């Protein structure tokens, strides 16, 4: 599910120490650097939410939350 990446969302994620990215999910394989379910992880893998694109440096305008995320 995608949502607009607003300043309010970024602030609340920091304030409440939100965990929503693949790196904090029990289905993430660090060794394989991919999801055990092979979901496309573009978007929900990014952390922090407002991290720029590592290739282009572009600032993200939206954020993806995976419905299968399970906190590790
Ligand atoms: S289940 Fe979703 S949040 Fe978890 S590792 Fe896979 S793509 Fe990422």
Residue located nearest, by CA, to atom 6 of ligand 1: 35
Q: Can you tell me which atom of ligand 1 is nearest the CA of 70? A: 4
Which atom number of ligand 1 is nearest to the Cα of residue 41?
A: 7
Question: C-alpha distances in angstroms, 10 versus 7, 19, 33, 39, 51?
Answer: 5, 12, 25, 24, 11
Ligand 1 site, CB within 6 A: 22, 25, 27-28, 35, 37, 39, 41, 44, 66, 68-69
In this model, does residue 54 exceed pLDDT 90? no
- pLDDT of amino acid 55: 87
3-class SS of residue 24: helix
Question: Which spans in the chain are helix H?
Answer: 7-15
Mean pLDDT of 16-36: 95
């Amino acid at each position: 599910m995608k949502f607009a990446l607003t300043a309010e969302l970024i602030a609340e994620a920091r304030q409440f120490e939100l965990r929503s990215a693949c790196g904090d999910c029990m289905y993430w394989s660090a060794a394989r650097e991919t999801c055990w379910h092979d979901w496309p992880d573009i978007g929900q893998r990014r952390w922090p939410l407002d991290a720029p694109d590592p290739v282009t440096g572009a600032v993200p305008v939206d954020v993806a939350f995976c419905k299968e995320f399970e906190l590790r």
